[in-house]
């Protein structure tokens, strides 16, 4: 049980750090007319680096427990073809670095090290790291996934692999594509605001966007929003329930001509409970996320 609680703490902390990137079904509540979508040239390659740092505090059996996580993921994206409304891409995770601690236990992993890839964690991530995947994204920035998968039960899945999926299923995220692109209309001006909401896999997110300023072809966008999470996972026959609410704020710079998110900074505060075998564990999480996208 102790090992499962350890991983549930880390999963909660890490997924909180990925707040506004969680995959789901988008429902735009209020948005100005977008007359131009993404404009990505055929053959263009991008590198996407995402750094997430979290710190959580939990109360269990009258004791306070702290857990921390620092994870850096790097994605490679290539626009292979452009059709009337879709981009056909070949994307993959090129590297993952993790440094996580909880309940006196520590996990360190670097996919660039052969000895780490030959270890337990690496063996369970070989299906993701440096494995090119076909991704289709439409010009409105939506990833087209042919088949939805259920990630709520992971009894046959390694905890690290489950943690990767809980961060935002790589397939539904387009292996970095949703981190990298946001369609912006050239008609947008300073002060233009819109809202968006997503719901999927027990996570509901509402996001507010406001154009803070425009300099040349770069728009700086202020972001704020809320997230509600009510998820269940099965780990080695044990059900782990997570119920949290949180707020996040941030800024991102977007190239108006292409829709490439040059940089995104986000911070969040979340609180709620983790329930394991009928025991509720109050938990708070503070997280920061930095994403940068570079054309190659």
d(CA 171, CA 190): 34
What are the chain's domains?
A: 2-295 (2.30.230)
Query: What pLDDT was estimated at residue 69?
Result: 87
Whether the per-residue pLDDT at 118 is higher than 50: the answer is: yes
The CA distances from residue 281 to 30, 114, 159, 199, in Å, are 37, 37, 20, 25
Work out the end-to-end distance of the chain between its first and last CA atoms, rounded to an integer number of angstroms.
46
Query: What pLDDT was estimated at residue 168?
Result: 59
d(CA 148, CA 140): 20
Whether the per-residue pLDDT at 158 is higher than 60: the answer is: no
Query: What pLDDT was estimated at residue 84?
Result: 84
Q: Are strands 86-102 and 238-255 parallel, antiparallel or unpaired?
A: unpaired
Whether 133 and 91 have beta carbons less than 8 Å apart is answered as yes
d(CA 262, CA 142): 18
Whole-number average pLDDT of the chain: 83
pTM of the model: 0.85
Whether the per-residue pLDDT at 20 is higher than 60: the answer is: no
- pLDDT tens readout for residues 260-294: 999 999 999 999 988 877 788 898 999 999 999 99
């Amino acid at each position: 049980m102790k090992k499962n609680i350890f991983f549930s703490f880390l999963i909660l902390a890490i997924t909180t750090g990925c707040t506004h990137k969680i995959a789901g079904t988008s429902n735009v509540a209020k948005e100005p007319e977008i007359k131009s979508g993404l404009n990505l040239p055929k053959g263009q390659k991008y590198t996407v680096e995402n750094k997430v740092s979290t710190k959580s505090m939990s109360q269990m059996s009258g004791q306070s427990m702290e857990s921390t996580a620092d994870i850096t993921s790097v994605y490679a994206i290539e626009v292979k073809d452009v059709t009337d409304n879709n981009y056909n891409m070949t994307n993959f995770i090129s590297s993952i670095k993790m440094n996580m601690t909880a309940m006196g236990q520590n996990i360190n992993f670097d996919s660039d090290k052969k000895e780490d890839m030959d270890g337990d964690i690496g063996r369970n991530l070989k299906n993701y790291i440096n494995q090119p995947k076909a991704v289709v994204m439409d010009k409105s920035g939506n990833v087209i996934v042919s088949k939805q998968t259920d990630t709520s039960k992971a009894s046959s899945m390694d905890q690290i692999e489950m943690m990767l999926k809980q961060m935002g299923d790589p397939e539904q995220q387009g292996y970095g594509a949703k981190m990298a692109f946001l369609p912006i209309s050239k008609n947008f001006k300073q002060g233009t605001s819109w809202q968006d909401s997503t719901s999927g896999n027990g996570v509901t997110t509402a996001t507010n966007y406001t154009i803070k300023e425009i300099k040349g072809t770069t728009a700086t966008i202020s972001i704020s929003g809320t997230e509600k999470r009510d998820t269940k996972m099965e780990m080695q026959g044990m059900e782990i329930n997570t119920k949290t609410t949180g707020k996040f704020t941030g800024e991102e710079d977007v190239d108006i001509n292409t829709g490439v998110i040059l940089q995104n900074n986000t911070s969040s505060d979340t609180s709620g409970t983790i329930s394991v075998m009928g025991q509720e564990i109050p938990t708070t999480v503070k997280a920061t996320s930095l994403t940068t996208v570079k054309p190659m």
